[in-house]
Structures are given as C-alpha cells and as structure tokens.
Amino acid sequence: MSPNSKIHRLSRSAGIAIALATPGGCTVGPNYVSSAPDAPQDWTSWRSADPSLLAPANADVVMPTDWWTAFKDPVLDDLVSQALAASPDLETAALHFAQARVQRSGTASAALPQVGASADVSRQRQSEYGAGTRLFDAIGSDRDALAKLLSQPFTLFRGGFDASWEIDLWGKVRRSIEAADATVAQKGALLDQARLSVASEVASTYFDLRTSQRDIALLREDIALLRDRISLVKARVEGGIDSHGDLDREDAALQGMEARLPATLAKEAAQANAIGLLLGKPPGSLKEKLAPRGNDVVQLPPDLSLGLPSEVALRRPDVRAAEAGLHAATARIGVAVADLYPSIRLGGGFGLESYRSQNLFDWASRNWSIGPSLDLPLFDGGRRRSVVKLRKLEQREAAVAFQTTVLKSWQEIDNALNRSTAARQEHESLTRKVGATQSSLAIAQASYESGAINYLGLIEAKRALIQARRELSENEGLLRASYVAVNKAIGNTPENPLVQNVAQR
C-alpha cells in the first residue's frame, strides 16, 4: 500500500472519530451564501431609452399592493377579488406550496428515531428431515421418535417492537432539510408570482375589453355617418353633380368599416371569456357584469415617476423563487457528498415469543437485540461520485438561472417604465388633438348652419372627431395596461389571505 493511500485512510478514520465525538457530526458540502446581484441605486440609473422618456424620479411615490384600486372601478375591484379567491391557477400554485411543506415534514422525520411494533400468530410444522434435525443423527438417540415429536404442528405467538436511528454524521439529513426549506420558500414565492400574474391578467384583459367596447361604439357611429354620406352622394349622383365612381368609393369605404365590426365583436367576446377563465367561470356568466357602460369617464392611472429603492426589484417573486432554487441546489450537493461516507445506524428490538399462548407474556419468553450497524460504501462503479458531479452542475445551472432572472427583471422594469412614459406623453398629444378636432367640428357646424358648407363637409368633420377619439381610446387602454405592467415588473404582489388558507389545508 502506498504512503498516500495510508495517509488518506488515516485521515478518513480520524474524520470519522471526530464526527462520532461531536454531537450531530459535521455537515459536508458547500454552505449557501446569499450574494446580492448588481443593482442600481434607483430606477433612473439603469435605463436604455431616449432622455425624453426618462421622467424625473419622485421619492414620495407609494405603490399600494392593491394597485388596481387606483382606477376607482368597482367592477374591476370585484373581478380581481373574485380571481384572487377562486382562480384555478392560483389554487394550483397554493396546492404546490402545501405539497412542498408536507414534503419538508417528511424529510425532517428522517432526523428522528424510527419506532415500530409488530405482532403475529402462525401455525407451523417443521420438517422431520430439515436442518434442525441433523443433531439427532449426531447424538445417536431415537432419532425418528424425536423428529416426529418436534415436527408436530404448533402455533407460534410473537409480539414486540423495534427502534432504529441513523446518526447524521455528515449532515445528510440536515442538508436535506435545508433543501426542503428552500423548496418551500421557492413554492411560496411562486405562489406570490401566481397571485401577481392573476391580478395583472384580470386587470389588463378588463382594460382591453373596455377598449374594444369603446371601439365598437365608435365604429357604429362611423358606420352611421358613412351611410348618411352615401345617401347624400347617391342624391348628388342622381342630380348629376357626382359620378357613379364617387358613389362606388363611398360604398367601398362603408363595406370596409362594416367588415371591421364582426371581428371586433368576436374580440370582445374572447376577452370576456378570458376573464371568466381567470375567475373559474363558464362562458357567458359575466355578460351582465361586463356589459358596455356607454360613454363613461375613463379613470387614468397615477403618474409613475418612481423613486423607489432598487432593492424592491430584488424582492420580485420570480427573483426570490430563483434564489431559493439556487439555495436548494446548493444544499443537495451536501446530500450527495454525504452518501460518499460511511453511515452508522443504532438499532434495537424487544419481543416476546412462545408456542404456548398462556406463556406469551412470561418473562422467560422475552428476546431482544441491540447494537450498531455500519454501512461502508466500497465500490459502486462511480455512481455516488456521478451524483455529486450532477448536483454541482445543477447548482451551476440554478446560479445562471438566478442571474438571468435578475437581469430580466431590470429589463422588464425599464421596458415598462419606458412604455408608461411614452403612453402618457402620447396621451397629452392625443388629448390636444381631440380638443382641436372638436373645435374644428364646432366651426364646421356653424358653417353648415350658415350655408357656407354642405352636409358632406359636416360629416367629414364628425368622422375626423371619431377617428381622434378612437386614437385617444386606444392610447388610454395602453396607458392603463402600462400601469399594470409596471406593477407586475416591480413585483408589487397583492395580499390575499384566502389563498393562504388553501395552502394551509
């Protein structure tokens, strides 16, 4: 044997002796150390947009967790509340969280002694020529008589209990519990992520639905104006003022506008169904609640000149889930490394055995055993070391996933803030455009009443206002959607104790 191998064996033996002398042994494998990824000092530090989209930061901005209430829309508030209480996706995430906690309890039980009890009654007969009767041939007595006597059927009564406990020398159980705790944290973060996603999906889909409904109303107004204009053009053609080509062009414009209406109606129905699915309701069940509300005043979201600290983004549910996944992967390395070392199990048992029922509980019927057992891995074809290598690769993969999630979070924040600022600037321009178009319509109305222009000119002014209102409506939908996107990007998770109750069942 080489000197190096002897030194290796001595060092391992010394390690075992130290572990046995230390309560609980040692813990092998790397310890997880949380390292905060790079982050800016505030929201304005890491931005990629043109300076015109970089709104000044407002340190007094407070983002409530029930951020959808900023729109002061009772229907939206009720829909989000229902979704947070009854969403199938959210209940699935809550059940995953509950499963992780149950698995954690099962993992922790490995650190405790295992105790069991058993009892049985059996009818037996021994062979006259079995291994137990060889002694009769050796002693030279009346073999056949003795064998015949011992082979008579008898009833055997047995009962007792046994206990065993594996000493956690190398921290395998402790690392397993650590990984289980990290998995619980990961599932809890994913539950928060599901809650945020459900609230965001309900709000954004609801805004899209209201935008579609306003688009439908404006389309119908425009179609009615086009029909009036066709009637006038037809009269002018009959009077020889306009040509049939003019009438065909007007009819083509009307047909194109009417062709847009069915697709928009189908889009409205699909958006209503999407909201119903988020609430776990069948198609058509929300028809009355989601009915068009006419020309209601659109409540715009508050300004999003954020001045929050950068640590808020690192508390995003998906970032927390990715870090917990990295923690669990790190702990699993220790579990695999512990399998490379010997394991010692302390065991013992006590029981009663008798072929006479009346003597089963006599002290003379007792049997017992106690003592340690050693499991020493010698050769497994490299299986255990392959598992260690695999766990290290999985840990590296989890580290890359964590860094990617953090980087993605900052990109999503930047994109959401850019879209929000752009939508608000566009809203200001479109609001001025609607105002200018309304003024133009008022002038056209006065000119028509004074006879300066005909009714066709007035129709064109009305259609120009409809087009400006349509553009403003689409922008308002985009502006509200951008508010949802910002809250989702910063991980502004709504609170919901109802879902926590599901997880605690």
- Domains in the chain: boundaries: 72-112+171-341+384-505, 113-166+342-376
Question: What is this structure's pTM?
Answer: 0.80
Q: Residue 154 in 3-state DSSP?
A: strand
Exposure of 376 in the CB half-sphere (CA atoms within 13 A): 7
* Distance between CA atoms of residues 315 and 17, nearest Å: 44
Which pLDDT does position 174 carry in this prediction? 92
* Distance between CA atoms of residues 494 and 276, nearest Å: 20
Spatial CB neighbours of 145, under 8 Å, sequence gap ≥ 6:
none
CATH 1.20.1600.10 given to domain 72-112+171-341+384-505: yes
Which pLDDT does position 484 carry in this prediction? 92
* Distance between CA atoms of residues 159 and 122, nearest Å: 12
Answer for the pair 415, 336: CB distance below 8 angstroms, yes or no.
no
- DSSP symbol at 493: P
- As a 3-state breakdown, the chain gives helix, strand, coil percent values, each rounded to 5, of 65, 10, 25
For the chain, the average pLDDT equals 83
Which pLDDT does position 505 carry in this prediction? 47
Which pLDDT does position 14 carry in this prediction? 34
* Distance between CA atoms of residues 242 and 248, nearest Å: 11
Which pLDDT does position 61 carry in this prediction? 59
Q: Encoding tokens for residue 399?
A: 């580290």
Which pLDDT does position 99 carry in this prediction? 94
Which pLDDT does position 354 carry in this prediction? 83
Distances (CA, A) of 108 to 21, 182, 184, 225, 341: 23, 13, 13, 74, 21
Question: How many other β-carbons are positioned within 10 Å of the β-carbon of residue 473?
Answer: 21
Specify burial of residue 351 (Cβ count, 10 A radius: 0-12, 13-18, 19+). middle
Which pLDDT does position 2 carry in this prediction? 44
CATH 3.50.50.60 given to domain 113-166+342-376: no
One digit per residue, the tens of pLDDT, for the chain of length 505 reads 443 443 344 334 333 333 443 344 588 999 998 877 766 666 566 677 676 676 655 555 567 888 999 888 999 999 999 999 988 889 999 999 999 999 999 988 888 888 888 888 888 888 877 777 777 777 666 777 777 777 788 888 888 888 888 888 898 899 999 999 999 999 999 999 999 999 999 999 999 999 999 999 999 999 999 888 888 778 777 777 766 776 778 788 888 888 999 999 999 999 999 999 999 899 989 999 999 987 666 777 776 655 555 566 677 899 999 999 999 999 999 999 999 999 888 988 888 888 888 888 888 888 888 888 888 888 888 999 999 999 999 999 999 999 999 888 888 888 888 888 888 889 999 999 999 999 999 998 998 888 888 888 888 899 999 999 999 999 999 999 999 998 898 888 887 554 444 444 4
How many angstroms separate the first and last alpha carbons of the chain? 60
Which pLDDT does position 228 carry in this prediction? 86
* Distance between CA atoms of residues 444 and 439, nearest Å: 9
If we measure between CA atoms, which residue out of 272, 264, 279, 262 comes closest to residue 205? 272
- The dihedrals phi and psi of 264, each to the nearest 5 degrees, come to -70, -35
* Distance between CA atoms of residues 410 and 40, nearest Å: 10
